[in-house]
């Protein structure tokens, strides 16, 4: 009623299920995802999401549109977070495990920035806004395996209204816009460890980098096994162009010897 019968419908969603969107229209074969990375006027990366019923012609059109806009398109299948956000979620989880095990956010950020990342993970979380991942975790809470390790520190930050730079405080505080360690966060971390009976240990930069790279590569392996990503190099392109992974390191899959 609203568009031509042959119109292609593209969603820019980051986390909603494009297959569910497709099933709500008369011609699901004409639906795909075009996930532009923010800020879209600067970021080149676009995930072109192939839904279950998307035709090859529609997929090819999506790729052509992205290229015509001067973007770098990478094809992804449908899953929670597509390629990039799913890898980044694994990265976030491992970063939080490191905090619970004994490292501090500023130590983890320094290790990853020294490795070559544009920003460390906790600086990125604060920049993006902690409430986004929090909403996703709450949405998944009902289906989460109770035996699965879960770190609640980020939830406590959000409950305290610490949503990152936009609220002036998150994992860090930002007096005059400058990223600054907050003793309140350190105290919260220590309290969370104590409540779980975790004895923190010293974790050096080498272990931090190794564990975070391994987490990304393992999630990349799963994406390949599930057919969400077509090749390891596609994952590397996404992480370099969308998440600040150092290009000279080749991407997480290349760094792990996967491509």
The mean per-residue pLDDT over the stretch 189-193 comes to 98
Share of the chain above pLDDT 90, in %: 89
Measured distance CA(127)–CA(121) in Å, rounded: 10
d(CA 74, CA 109) in angstroms, rounded, equals 28
Cα–Cα nearest to 95, from 258, 173, 232, 87? 87
Q: State residue 249's pLDDT score.
A: 96
Q: Say which residue the tokens 């920049």 belong to.
A: 127
Given 30, 35, 86, 179, which residue is catalytic? 35
Residue-wise pLDDT tens digits, 207-239? 999 999 999 999 999 999 999 999 999 999 999
pLDDT tier for residue 258 given thresholds of 50, 70 and 90: confident
Q: Is the confidence at residue 195, as pLDDT, over 90? A: yes
pLDDT of residue 259: 63
Q: What does the pLDDT look like over 101-153, one tens digit per residue?
A: 999 999 999 999 999 999 999 999 999 999 988 998 998 898 999 999 999 99
Tens digits of residue pLDDT in 72-106: 999 999 999 999 999 999 999 999 999 999 999 99
Alpha helices in 72-146 (DSSP H): 82-101, 105-115, 121-128, 130-140
Domains and CATH numbers, the chain: 9-76 (3.40.50.720), 84-208 (1.10.1040.50), 217-255 (no CATH)
Please give the structure tokens belonging to residue 106.
């500023």
Count Cβ atoms below 10 Å from residue 147 Cβ, excluding itself. 6
The pLDDT score that the predictor gives to residue 130 is 95
pLDDT at 14: 86
Which residues is 180 bridged to in the sheet? 173
**Which two three-digit tokens encode residue 82?**
């597509």
In sequence order, the β-bridge partners of residue 34 are 48
Sheet holding 9-11, edge to edge: 9-11, 31-36, 45-49, 72-76
Q: How many residues can be counted in the chain? A: 259
Q: Is 35 a catalytic residue?
A: yes
182 backbone φψ class: left, alpha, beta (φ>0; ψ -120 to 50) = beta
Instruction: List the beta strands (DSSP E) in the chain.
Output: 9-11, 31-36, 45-49, 72-76, 172-173, 180-181
Tell which residue, 72, 116, 119, has the closest CA to residue 248: 116
Instruction: Work out the mean pLDDT of the chain and round it to a whole number.
Output: 95
Indicate the pLDDT class of residue 67, thresholds 50, 70 and 90: very high
| Predicted pLDDT of residue 1 | 67
Summarize pLDDT for 2-39 with one digit per residue, the tens. Answer: 788 889 999 999 888 999 999 999 999 999 999 999 88
Helix (H) or strand (E) holding 74: strand 72-76
**This prediction's pTM:** 0.92
Q: What is the pLDDT of residue 191?
A: 98
- Torsion angle, alpha carbons of 126, 218, 221, 119, to 10: 30
């Amino acid at each position: 009623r609203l568009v031509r019968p042959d119109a292609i419908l593209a969603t820019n969603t980051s986390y909603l299920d494009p297959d569910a969107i497709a099933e709500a229209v008369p011609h699901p074969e004409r639906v795909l995802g075009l996930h532009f990375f923010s800020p879209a006027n600067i970021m080149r990366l676009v995930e072109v999401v192939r839904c279950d019923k998307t035709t090859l012609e529609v997929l090819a059109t999506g790729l052509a549109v992205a290229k015509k806009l001067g973007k770098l398109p990478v094809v992804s299948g449908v899953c929670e977070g597509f390629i990039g956000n799913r890898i980044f979620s694994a990265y976030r989880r491992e970063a939080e495990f490191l905090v619970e095990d004994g490292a501090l956010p500023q130590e983890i950020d320094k290790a990853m920035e020294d490795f070559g990342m544009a920003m460390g993970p906790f600086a990125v979380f604060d920049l993006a806004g902690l409430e986004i991942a929090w909403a996703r975790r709450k949405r998944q809470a009902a289906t989460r395996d109770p035996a699965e390790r879960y770190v609640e520190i980020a939830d406590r930050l959000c409950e305290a209204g610490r949503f990152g730079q936009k609220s002036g405080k998150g994992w860090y505080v930002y007096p005059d816009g400058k990223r600054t360690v907050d003793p309140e966060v350190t105290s919260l971390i220590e309290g969370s460890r104590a409540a779980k009976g975790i004895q923190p240990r010293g974790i050096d930069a080498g272990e931090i980098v190794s564990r975070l790279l391994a987490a990304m590569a393992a999630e990349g392996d799963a994406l390949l096994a599930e057919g969400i990503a077509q090749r390891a190099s596609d994952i590397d392109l996404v992480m370099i162009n969308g998440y600040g992974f150092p290009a000279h390191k080749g991407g997480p899959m290349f760094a792990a010897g996967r491509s």
